[in-house]
Amino acid sequence: MFDTFKNRLEITGKLKTITALRISAGRSSEPIGSDLPVIKDSLGNPLIPGSSFKGAMRSRLESFLRGINPNLAANPAIEAEWSITSQAIKQLKEDYDNDEAFTKELIAQTDLTSLLFGSPWIASKFQVRDLTVVPDTWFGQYQERDGVAIDRDTETAADGKLYDFQVVPAGTQFEFKAVVENAENYELGLLMIGLHQFETEQIPLGGGRSRGLGVVKLDIDKMYWLDVSNNPEKLLTYLQELVNSNSSDKLPSYQDVKESNLKQDWTNSLIHYLRKNQAKTQTTEVTPNS
């Protein structure tokens, strides 16, 4: 209700499978075929859900932030560990009769990862499209691999526990497109760290990771930044450019992040935010008699 367009970051690139990838679609009910097929699009091509990429990045960043301060990253799977529970939200509604004041307080109490990636009470600023396969790198075939459960007593294959599963071959590439809107500089710094983890093959995707599956590498092609904060004329120019351009054009209003120091500035802003937060926490924990 109170959103105001301030900035936008567009990111495009390729995600390459370094080892075979398995993002399962669940157990198949077909009489013929793999027991555990991978997720596919309507044409039968492999697909990486944007939620899988986003979830893996969020999990990694949460582990970093918890190492600094557990309050920086709530557990989205358990309501009791949210930065704001449903009961707390009800209490805020009672305390603030003005919707705008309520919204500001809700954001103020929300943990860092939820501000960027979203939560049950706040929308995500980071949007990732489903990653579609690059045709030239996909030859229309999946690999079939066997799996088996081992009987711990006999140390042999357990009866009836043999199964097979599909994987996307190593070397397959996927189109990567993401957008971030209305992010603070420190939130963009957090995002840069997450993307760098994918660029350096530090975040695996899918299942079978303990057996070497899911190693991927992100190659970012373009990263364009637009900041119109407190500048209505710049926003009007941007809107005019949108109408008169093709979807593949780089708009004149955009700033090329790769040709600037923005990544470093955003990262520095994150480090400053985290140090300030940590210092504030340590001050709060000190008792008057200490």
The confidence score (pLDDT) of residue 31 equals: 46
- For 116-120, 132-136, 160-164, 262-266, which range has the lowest pLDDT when averaged over its residues? 160-164
As a whole number of Å, the CA-based R_g of the chain is: 23
In degrees to the nearest 10, what's the CA dihedral of 118, 130, 192, 75? 30
Cβ neighbourhood burial of 80 (10 Å; 0-12, 13-18, 19+): exposed
Tokens representing 138? 């996909």
Question: Can you name the residues that pair with 195 across neighbouring β-strands?
Answer: none
Mean of pLDDT over the chain? 86
Nearest Cα to Cα of residue 250 among 6, 12, 14, 50: 12
* Alpha helices per DSSP H over the chain: 50-68, 86-95, 99-108, 112-117, 185-199, 232-244, 262-285
- Residue 174 scores a pLDDT above 80: yes
Tokens representing 183? 């992010």
The confidence score (pLDDT) of residue 202 equals: 96
- 162 band by pLDDT with thresholds 50, 70 and 90: low
Residues 188-215 have a mean pLDDT of 93
